[in-house]
């Protein structure tokens, strides 16, 4: 099977993440999309002080994706040495599941920063990458490597940062949060 790998801190997961994931699967770009909850993003550590515990982020991802056809949550990176660099994660996935083809799914915001990723050239050389558009991110599609494909998905103008800030102010942004996730955040007292 072609498995899309969609990684992030998902702190917390929001409808931008889940609708994007569903759209990638619905368009038949991959057979399944695995949402990889990362223990700690090497580029973000130090930036985000209000990172919820891994168990919470994983649980919220499971709640939000329940019933979405073809979208699964994976804790694969939890068992890998830190920091969880994508190139290492992809290699470990290939080894663990030789029967699958793994395709990296990233936003245009991450594609802009991609040259800074650890062993970026190796990722481009060894894997297919699907890049979806993000607001305010222009891509020069004339110079993309052959392994990179731009995919059309709706734009969702929301971020986990905005959600955490609003929770702190006592608002839940229910438009962008799955109701089960909103309830979980409230029950556990996250992001206060």
Cα 185–Cα 108–Cα 67 angle in degrees, nearest 5: 40
Q: Which is nearer to ligand ATP, 98 or 190 (CB)?
A: 190
User: Could you say whether residue 4 binds ligand ATP (CB under 6 A)?
Assistant: no
Nearer of residues 141 and 162 to ligand ATP, judged by Cβ: 162
- Select the residue whose beta carbon is closest to ligand ATP and give its number: 8
Beta strand segments in 27-125, E: 32-37, 71-74, 101-107
Residue 58 binds to ligand ATP (criterion: CB under 6 A): no
Tell me which of 3, 5, 17, 182 binds ligand ATP, using CB under 6 A.
17
* Structure letter (DSSP) for residue 118: T
Cα distance between residue 40 and residue 147, in whole Å:
27
Q: Sign of dihedral through CA atoms 40, 90, 63, 16? A: positive
Residue 110 beta carbon to ligand ATP: minimum distance, rounded to whole angstroms: 5
Size of the site for ligand ATP (CB under 6 A): 17
Q: Which residue has the tokens 């059309």?
A: 152
Q: Binding to ligand ATP by residue 12, rule CB under 6 A?
A: no
Choose which of 4, 5, 8, 191 interacts with ligand ATP (CB under 6 A).
8
Q: Which of 3, 73, 106, 167 binds ligand ATP (CB under 6 A)?
A: 106
- Interaction between residue 86 and ligand ATP (CB under 6 A): no
* Nearer Cβ to ligand ATP (161/179): 161
Going from the C-alpha of 168 to that of each of 106, 165, 171, the distances in angstroms are 28, 5, 7
Task: Report how far residue 139's alpha carbon sits from residue 101's, in angstroms, rounded to the nearest whole number.
Answer: 26
Q: Write the interaction track for ligand ATP spanning residues 133-162; mark x where CB under 6 A is met and - where it is not.
A: -----------------------x-xxxx-
Q: Are 11 and 52 in contact (CB under 8 A)?
A: yes
Instruction: Report which DSSP code applies to 29.
Output: S
DSSP string, 114-157: GGGSTTHHHHHHHSEEEEE--TT----GGG--TTEEEE------
Of positions 11, 74, 84, 86, contacts ligand ATP by CB under 6 A = 11
User: Can you give the binding site for ligand ATP, defined by CB under 6 A?
Assistant: 8-11, 16-17, 20, 48, 106-107, 109-110, 156, 158-161
């Amino acid at each position: 099977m072609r498995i899309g790998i969609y990684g992030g801190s998902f702190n917390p997961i929001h409808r931008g993440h889940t609708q994007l994931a569903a759209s990638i699967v619905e368009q038949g770009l991959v057979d399944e999309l695995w949402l990889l909850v990362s223990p700690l993003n090497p580029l973000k550590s130090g930036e985000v002080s209000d990172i919820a515990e891994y168990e919470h982020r994983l649980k919220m991802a499971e709640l939000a994706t329940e019933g979405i056809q073809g979208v699964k949550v994976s804790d694969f990176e939890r068992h890998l040495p830190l920091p969880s660099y994508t190139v290492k994660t992809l290699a470990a996935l290939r080894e663990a599941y030789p029967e699958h083809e793994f395709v990296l799914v990233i936003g245009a915001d991450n594609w802009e920063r991609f040259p800074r990723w650890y062993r970026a050239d190796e990722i481009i050389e060894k894997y297919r990458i699907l890049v979806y558009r993000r607001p305010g991110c222009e891509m020069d599609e004339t110079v993309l490597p052959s392994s990179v494909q731009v995919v059309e998905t709706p734009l969702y103008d929301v971020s986990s940062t905005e959600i955490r800030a609003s929770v702190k102010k006592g608002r839940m942004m229910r438009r962008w949060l799955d109701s089960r996730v909103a309830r979980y955040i409230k029950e556990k007292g996250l992001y206060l």
